[in-house]
Amino acid sequence: MSTRPRFDRGHTDDLISFLAASPSPYHAVASAAERLEKAGFRQVEETEAWDGGTGGKYLLRGGAIVAWFVPEAAAAHTPYRIVGAHTDSPNLRVKPLPDTGAHGWRQVAVEIYGGPLLNSWLDRDLGLAGRLSLRDGTSRLVNVDRPLLRVAQLAIHMDRSVHTEGLKLDKQKHMQPIWGLGGDVREGDLIRFVEEECGLAPGDVTGWDLMTHSVEPPAYLGRDRELLAGPRMDNLLSVHAATAALAAVATAPGADALPYIPVMAAFDHEENGSQSDTGADGPLLGTVLERSVFARGGTYEDKARSFAGTVCLSSDTGHAVHPNYGERHDPTHHPRANGGPILKVNVNNRYATDGGGRAVFAAACEKAGVPFQSFVSNNAMPCGTTIGPITAARHGIKTVDVGVAILSMHSARELCGADDPYLLAEALRAFLEG
């Protein structure tokens, strides 16, 4: 069998670089902004007055980014085409008093963020990354991307029941990573270490948002390299695809004649409910869209007309059919790796897709020449949710839930088809073009 990939892997190669450079939401939005800058976008500040000029713009707030391109043909009431995603992933996050330990081991106190598969974090070499808040009021990103921490599993000789009763992990007692040897706990030790790593003076760091990440890089997998294994695909795969799609649309011939204003919005805190100033349940997206209308000389009536014609694709990973657990899936809906993006449906509004939304996505996929699949949960299984229903309800705009089918969702290392990221990006590009 030929080992030649089905598609040009340039997009997936860039996704690998994006995942490796984005161990935290703060790094992810910086990585996205870097790509948008190369496409001619410029950053705007929330504290400054916005002009009504055309072209690409983006706004950063913590671990969230909203970017949009205003064509020359845009009027104040021009509708938006939005791709929404989220930047956060389940992991282990450093507590306010991080220095701890027992029995001669030095450890870091962590809190469980979101709903990770805890066993996937055991016996894995972990780095440390995130955002530092400094005494002078500025902030700085930090990424210690080398083996620094490890959550050690108990040996089989001391837990003989693990094979008969399953692995049982206490989130408080069993998930604190080791990072050295020593006697007494040394208060402030971890933050002093981080300051040294960043070339900062002792006491410069007065606040932090730090988290662990696996230092094993993303990689193609399988005999024919048709799979991709890596961290944080839920949901940086969608953030990367949305960024690539927006940049492609904004730099394509005829961009100034687009019938819609294309937007990419990547939020933080989806994994714990989206209720924050950078989450999808906060006012960030609505504020940006409103200010853009008003900056172009629009009125409240223009804003209402714009929102009424707006459509959002909520892009988040979904579940590929699992070869070892096929019975957990709906009998007639089996999304497969490299089968194209998935359309996610739930009649109880855990996903926002309806028949009209399906038609919008089907048209985009047809335009892009991309196949798509449908996902619906087994009736006996609770269905997860996304930013889709939140976006639809909060802003009153039609929203459709889509994504890429993966295995090992919420693991420290997930798995997808190596062609699917490109197929998703192409569908998103066609959607943003209108």
Known binding site for Zn(2+): residues?
A: 86, 157, 410
First to last CA, the chain: 39
Residues in the annotated binding site: 86, 157, 410
Q: Cis bond leading into 235, ω under 30°?
A: yes
Q: What is the DSSP letter of 330?
A: -
Contact 61, 43 (CB under 8 A): no
Burial of 141 (0-12, 13-18, 19+ CB in 10 A): middle
Q: How many CA atoms lie within 13 A of 149 on its CB side?
A: 28
Cβ neighbours for 47, distance < 8 A, ≥ 6 positions apart: none
Q: How far apart are CA 23 and CA 338, in angstroms?
A: 25
Nearest C-alpha neighbor of 310 from the set 261, 356, 264: 261
* The two three-digit tokens of residue 228, written as one number: 């991709």
- Quick one: angle between helices 10-20 and 233-251, nearest 10? 120
Residue 251, by phi and psi: left (phi above 0), alpha (psi -120 to 50) or beta?
alpha
Q: How far apart are CA 245 and CA 241, in angstroms?
A: 6
Q: How far apart are CA 375 and CA 316, in angstroms?
A: 12
Cβ neighbours for 50, distance < 8 A, ≥ 6 positions apart: 44, 291, 292, 295
Estimate to the nearest angstrom the gap between the alpha carbon of 309 and the chain centroid: 26
Q: How far apart are CA 74 and CA 192, in angstroms?
A: 51
